[in-house]
Amino acid sequence: MLGPILVGLAGLGLPLGVATAAWGQISERGHGARIAEASGYSMLFVDPQAGSDGVGDGSQRRPFGTITHALSLAEANTVVVLAPGEYSQQSGESFPLRLKPGVTVQGSPSRPGQILIRGGNSYLSPTQGLQNVTVLAPDAAGIGNVTVVNPHSAGLGLWIETGSPVIREGIFAENGRFGIFIAGAGSPVIQGNRFMGNGGAGLAIAGPSTASVVDNLFDRNGVGIQVGGGAAPEIARNRILQNQDGLMVQADARPRLQDNVIAQNRRNG
């Protein structure tokens, strides 16, 4: 298991002190915001139980109630810090959640399973057509330490159309189709995540991507990792275990494989 790494550290250049402060705010009220402000970065806080989009201001004392509202106000160099709870249509979220360049959505490294983003809705991809998606991640966005579930039979947890977002230390579980889908070009970072029980593939790379897929666990998915479309990702130090198919390489894909553990898959390794 990786140690705490802010999802935006590589993609957005946020300093480690801001990351530590964001996580520390859960137990030390006020401390995280002061460090972030001193470092020149903004923080918005969201709590689906105690927060309110109507009267909240995004501070620790008066958090917003939805990620949707926080993202609508977030500017570049902002960390959206999530409190434990379920973020769903019932709690006021509008799906798909649309991340922004330069904005990191951040849960807690000690309890990502307690921060659940659950739901999905229609997204019309310019390359793949109509999809049902929970989170859209554009270039230079970040998300980490959260659980993403799309229970729709064709549901996708996180969609990357193009670009190089950073996805770290999340859980992508029980999505109807794919945990993460990469449709086009770019170099996204997929690091330290857990993909479990996804109906199609934990991770599917369909476009000419050079993604970095490192230190992840793929367990009990239809396919652990599916690579096609001329993609040339780096796939290193992953554990690909107990899937129907472990790793599928299609068409003219050229993945670079190093130090992966591929074992106990039912059909193809």
What are the pLDDT digits (tens) for 89-141?
A: 999 999 999 999 999 999 988 888 899 999 999 999 999 999 999 999 999 99
| Beta-sheet strands, E only, within 55-112 | 78-82, 85-87, 97-98, 103-106
pLDDT surpasses 70 at 77 = yes
Rg of the chain over Cα atoms, rounded to whole angstroms, equals 18
Strands 121-125 and 129-136, sheet pairing: antiparallel
Mean per-residue pLDDT, 23-43: 54
* pLDDT averaged over every residue in the chain: 88
How open is the CA angle 35-106-241, to the nearest 5 degrees? 135
Q: Which domains does the chain have, with CATH numbers?
A: 8-263 (2.160.20)
Inter-residue contact 12 to 142 (CB < 8 Å): yes
pLDDT surpasses 80 at 193 = yes
Mean per-residue pLDDT, 150-166: 97
Looking at per-residue pLDDT, the higher value among 40 and 56 belongs to 56
Percent of the chain with pLDDT over 70: 85
Strands 239-241 and 217-219, sheet pairing: parallel
Alpha-carbon dihedral 240, 147, 107, 100, rounded to 10 degrees: 90
Closest of 110, 224, 95 to residue 148, by C-alpha: 95
